[in-house]
Structure 1
Amino acid sequence: MKDYFKQLLEKSNIKLEDSKIDILLEYLRLLTEKNKVMNLTAIREEKEILEKHFIDSLLLSELFLHTDKKIIDIGTGAGFPGLVLAVVFPEKDFLLVDSVRKKVAFIDETAEILGLTNVKTSYERAEDLIKNSRSSFDVGLCRGVANLRIILEYMIPFLKTDGRFLPQKLNENEISESGNALKVLNSKILKIHRFRLPESDDERIIIEIQKLKETDSQYPRKTGIPAKKPL
């Protein structure tokens, strides 16, 4: 499996030290074992997990800046992309958030086994977590959890001014309808990055969004409202 993972990395132009590859493969082992008794990912086959979860997460690594120190990943599930990136960037601090407590417990257990001291977790909903975390993070991450204009309302308030949100999407369909949300939340799209997964050739989109100035304290609105009445 290590040789296959290295092939995927090479095809994706991602360079990783051998020691980090070994840690990620141990993460893969823990994930596939736990996935037998708990639904962490619908993808079961190890090679497919490596491509569609691990490589997919690692595509973000070239967009990280040296100055990015605090990263939040909302809706992380089994740790994608945040836990993968925490292995690659031990000097950065990651907060991985998911409302499903069993998934958070898996991340906590896995981070401890892997020796990751730069990972913290929360199962609080974003509307509650924001109370003590507003304008605290350099980068926000999210893999396709919700429509872009909904997740913008949850994520942008967590970011510092000039911080960046890097949502991952399967296509650009949601961008055209997110203009009002971007305006209301004082943010803008800097660039749209396009990638192809090395084996399946599936397209992946990363939207680079910058927070321009402080977000009004009324955002995010109460639970359920962003989904029912998107900006």
Structure 2
Amino acid sequence: MKDYFCNLLLKSEISVENDRIDKMTEFLNFLYEKNKVVNLTAIRDKKGMAEKHFVDSLLLTKIIGKDEKKLVDIGTGAGFPGLVLAIYYPEKEFLLVDSVRKKIDFINEVVEKLQLKNVKTSFERAEELINGNRETFDIALCRGVANLRVILEYMIPFVKTGGRFLPQKLNLNELEESENALKILNSSVEDIYKLSLPECGDERIIFGIRKIKKTDTKYPRKTGIPAKKPL
């Protein structure tokens, strides 16, 4: 499996140190076995996991800067992209968040197994977690299907002024309807990165969203409101 993973990295032009590849491979094998008894991901085969979870997460290394030290990943699931990036960047700090307790329990097992010192976890909802964490992160991450204008309200308040939100999306369609949310949250789309997975060829789009100034403290609104009444 390690050879297959290394070949995917080579095709993607992503350089990873050997000891970190070993840790990622161990994480992958553990996910594969655990997924047989606990539903952590819909992808069941190791090759699919390697490409569509691990390499997909590592595409962000083409965008994340050296000086961006503190990252939060909300809705991380079984640790994508945040846990993979935490292995890649041992010098950066990560907070991985998911409201599904079994997924955070799994991540905690991986963190202990791999002896990762740069990862904290939480299963609090973003609306509660924002207390004490407002505007403290250089980068916010979110890889998921939630509508962009909804996730903007949850994510931007965590980001420092001048920091970035890097959502991974499958298409550009949600940008236009998110203009009002971006304006209210004092943010703007600075870059659009178009990348692709090496084997299946699936396109990946990452928006580089810059926070221009502080977010009003009334955001995010109470649980359920952002989805029912998007900005």
TM exceeding 0.5: yes
- Paired position in structure 2 for 1:88: 88
Counterpart of 2:62 in structure 1: which amino acid? E
Distance in 1 separating the partners of 2:28 and 2:66: 27
Distance in 1 separating the partners of 2:112 and 2:172: 37
Residue 145 of structure 1 and its aligned partner are, at CA, apart by: 4.0
Distance in 2 separating the partners of 1:229 and 1:141: 23
- Paired position in structure 1 for 2:186: 186
- Paired position in structure 2 for 1:132: 132
SS in 2 for 1:68: coil
- Paired position in structure 2 for 1:109: 109
- Paired position in structure 1 for 2:147: 147
Residue 67 of structure 1 and its aligned partner are, at CA, apart by: 1.1
- Paired position in structure 1 for 2:211: 211
Counterpart of 1:79 in structure 2: which amino acid? G
Contact 1:75 1:145 in 2 (8 A): no
Distance in 2 separating the partners of 1:140 and 1:76: 11
Counterpart of 1:132 in structure 2: which amino acid? G
Q: Deviations over 1:166-208 (max 9, x none)?
A: 0000111111110000000000000000011111100100000
Contact 1:90 1:118 in 2 (8 A): yes
Counterpart of 2:117 in structure 1: which amino acid? T
Change (3 A) 1:99 1:145: farther
Is residue 58 from structure 1 mapped to residue 58 from structure 2 by the alignment?
A: yes
- Paired position in structure 2 for 1:159: 159
Distance in 1 separating the partners of 2:31 and 2:5: 16
Q: Deviations over 1:26-66 (max 9, x none)?
A: 00011011101100000001001000000000000121111
Distance in 1 separating the partners of 2:51 and 2:101: 26
Distance in 1 separating the partners of 2:39 and 2:172: 29
Residue 2 of structure 1 and its aligned partner are, at CA, apart by: 1.2
Counterpart of 2:124 in structure 1: which amino acid? E
Residue 115 of structure 1 and its aligned partner are, at CA, apart by: 1.1
TM-score normalised by the chain length of structure 1: 0.99
Distance in 1 separating the partners of 2:87 and 2:3: 19
Counterpart of 1:58 in structure 2: which amino acid? L
SS in 1 for 2:194: strand
- Listed as ranges, the gaps of 5+ residues in structure 2 are none
- Paired position in structure 1 for 2:38: 38
- Paired position in structure 2 for 1:196: 196
SS in 2 for 1:131: coil
- Paired position in structure 1 for 2:222: 222
Aligned length: 231
RMSD: 0.6
Distance in 2 separating the partners of 1:27 and 1:208: 28
Distance in 2 separating the partners of 1:67 and 1:106: 29
**Identity percentage of aligned residues:** 66
Contact 1:148 1:174 in 2 (8 A): yes
- Paired position in structure 2 for 1:171: 171
Distance in 2 separating the partners of 1:221 and 1:87: 33
Contact 1:187 1:213 in 2 (8 A): yes
Distance in 2 separating the partners of 1:20 and 1:217: 39
Residue 105 of structure 1 and its aligned partner are, at CA, apart by: 0.5
Distance in 1 separating the partners of 2:163 and 2:54: 24
Counterpart of 1:151 in structure 2: which amino acid? I
Contact 2:145 2:169 in 1 (8 A): no
SS in 2 for 1:111: helix
Counterpart of 2:228 in structure 1: which amino acid? K
